[in-house]
Structure 1
């Protein structure tokens, strides 16, 4: 090749020819090309997923329900032969799977209509199905059609769904579309988003949500400011063809939408894709986590499965004057059995994660598995390193800098196994009893009176199949709700509920024996329960029932001992 400048000054290239008009070639380049072609031709062909599964497990173990009429199968001698398939063959394979003769079933869109592969009570094979969702495509209705084949009524157990992806972050483009369309389809078909997705995807998986769109705007600003480590503005614009600056060199107001941004990233090298997605997902997860902590994360309907549910009280909040429909506040006592993570599963995670460390809390004596979590990016582009603590019943996330201020210390594997097993056995041996309040019935007229910091809609389902749908109302919000609805708020909360609500950070107003507020405060770096607004002439009586006073900043304040808060509040509210 020879290089030259055109009339505009741009450097261009063209083939180089000798004096006889023959093209000039580079022998070294030709040798490298021939060697590369030779190596490529020597590589084994990449088998399709379906053929690879059949080759690995054999036709005796794999039932195939697809639309293809021919397939290559491997015979005993190592050779291959072409086998024809008819509709009767697919029916026989389907029946063999339901009878348990064949342990693996592979079906496609063609085999996902009008058939059932669930653990039916009428079938011989009633084992739990592990449904691997591979290459789901773009259409959410087809994804639901396939998932519905293994999850139906009259089944012995529900299936285990597992969407399969690789470590190429560009695949998030496809799973994100499925997540968004599953939610949209659920909202259209049943009036609730959770019906479509069934919580199969995390809110952070939807890369077309409002959180992702806001994160992309921040990503653009960080890119222009040169604060990203994955790429720079010049290289990104050259590789993707996206123009982010106007003629004045200022970031455009009409920036490329997230769908176009995701599509352009698919053309980038995989290593660069992963780096860009890591930084972008750090921004998305930071926003989703903030919304979840603030109680404003919209996740549709969350199902709370309990062992038993008993309605203790039913208070009518409002009756519609026209339709006579009512709004209720139900007080329900629920009994739940927690499902802890088994020791085998956590050890399997520890063996496959190179960052895993066994830790033990020196104060509580509990153990956890510490792993590295995805870092967050601040609005200034500063990466905040985080770690994840896996506990038997929950996961906790901490900033790496905050970890050194806790009591978590490394421990041996043997100590971890012993303490983890003991905690799991303790959890499995007891039931958690909790009293909850659920606003149900006609909610739209009273929606503004309900707490604005917890917008999740819950469905409570017990073992007998009974269910209640509504919004959760925490104890600290009940007096305010009754006040807004014009109802008497006396005796709404028990003394124990007032104490618990106060310790959780709420402020509870009580009317008897005088109007005052019960709230949590910190004095000398320790939490206390304070009675705010107590009359001065009641100090002696308050001290006689168990309260104590303290003069702070020349003001007498009344406190309730945390250890005996229930008993003291019972005397106060009697």
Structure 2
């Protein structure tokens, strides 16, 4: 059951982020020279890789989001330290541009869940109740649109998820979610020479001409041809999604 949910936005205000900066040791005012966005960089807890080596990380606080990056990834990115005046100008401009409300989609898996419990996402096992504006009530497990793809695949079912190009772009490039597309493709955020790119995975050599005709471009990296979608707009992404919508196919999963 998929419903639309409207939330009032509560951006991190300039006075509050400056207070956090003043009270946090090592906090740094930054801006992204590519996107012209501001962020407060603070230290984040390190984590251990598979070999037990600690990976240092930083957290970027932004008006409406928080992002955690490995310190090595952050040092290769477009983020740079800036002065107070520039930071305040950029931050305030972004806060003022935040709409009062945001509408998003919520999907509940309802009904008899125990027989398929092990095929549902394991990161959030809470049971939710909701009531729509017209009084309809539902109870079930909450899953995101991208998680729904995996659920359908684990159940051996075909599905197609309705997501706008902007929603897909945000899910992949901002939330770092890998999305499946019908036809056996995947979209993922890749880091190439320290820069984030939108990569299309699963394209055969025969498919390259049609993908290039849609606006994709290729690069040979370590003797392998990889396909990327420009991120300076969503026009090319929209054309790719029109040809290969977000979805999962049981046949693709079996292959």
Is the structural similarity TM-score above 0.5? Answer: yes
TM-score, length-scaled by structure 1 = 0.32
Distance 1:403 1:345 in 2: 24
1:433 to 103, 121, 136: 103
Q: Distance in 2 between matches of 1:523 and 1:387?
A: 19
Taking a change above 3 Å as real, the CA distance of residues 468 and 367 of structure 1, as seen in their structure-2 partners, is: farther
CA distance 1:551–1:351, shift in 2 (3 Å): closer
> Which structure has the highest strand share of the two?
2
Task: Give the equivalent residue in structure 1 for 2:186.
Answer: 519
2:65 paired with 1:394: yes
* Equivalent residues in 2 for 1:121-520, closer than 5 Å: 330-373=1-44, 385-427=56-98, 429-452=99-122, 454-457=123-126, 459=128, 468-478=138-148, 481-482=151-152, 485=155, 487=157, 489=158, 492-494=160-162, 496=164, 500=168, 503=172, 504-508=177-181, 510=182, 516-520=183-187
Q: C-alpha separation between the residues in 2 aligned to 1:422 and 1:396?
A: 20
Q: Hey, what's the Cα distance between the residues in 2 that align with 1:377 and 1:548?
A: 36
Deviation of 1:550 after TM superposition, in Å, equals 6.7
Following superposition, the deviation at residue 348 of structure 1 comes to: 2.4
Q: Which residue of 2 aligns with 1:564?
A: 236
How big is the shift at 1:341? 1.9
CA spacing shift, 1:523–1:345, aligned 2, 3 Å? closer
Q: CA deviation at 1:339?
A: 1.0
Partner SS for 1:434: strand
Which residue of the partner structure matches residue 250 of structure 1?
none
Unaligned runs of 5+ in 2: 246-255
Q: How many residue pairs get matched?
A: 230
Q: Is the 8 A contact 1:530 1:560 kept in 2?
A: no
User: Matched residue of 1:500: which SS?
Assistant: helix
How far the C-alpha of 1:361 sits from its partner, in A, is 2.0
Pairing of 1:27-38 with structure 2 (within 5 A) = none
Unaligned runs of 5+ in 1: 1-329, 511-515
Q: Distance in 2 between matches of 1:386 and 1:556?
A: 31
1:239-279 C-alpha deviation (Å, 9 max, x unpaired): xxxxxxxxxxxxxxxxxxxxxxxxxxxxxxxxxxxxxxxxx
Q: How does 1:96-111 map to 2 (within 5 A)?
A: none
CA positional deviation for 1:364: 1.9
CA distance 1:567–1:433, shift in 2 (3 Å)? farther
Shift in alpha-carbon separation, 1:447–1:413, aligned structure 2, 3 A:
same
| Counterpart-to-counterpart distance in 2, 1:555 and 1:377 | 30
Matched residue, 1:546: 214
CA distance in 1, matches of 2:74, 2:213: 41
- Describe the superposition over 1:336-393 as per-residue Cα deviations: whole angstroms up to 9, x where unpaired: 2221122222222333345333222222222222334555678998766544433223
The CA deviation at 1:517 is 0.6
Q: Check the 8 A contact 2:149/2:180 in 1, yes or no.
A: no
C-alpha change, 1:407 and 1:447, in structure 2 (3 Å) is same
Distance 1:462 1:351 in 2: 42
Larger Cα Rg: Structure 1 or Structure 2?
1
**RMSD of equivalent CA atoms:** 4.6
Assess if the C-alpha contact under 8 Å between 2:128 and 2:139 holds in 1.
Answer: yes
Give the match's secondary structure for 2:199: strand
State the alpha-carbon separation in 2 of the partners of residues 530 and 394 from structure 1: 27
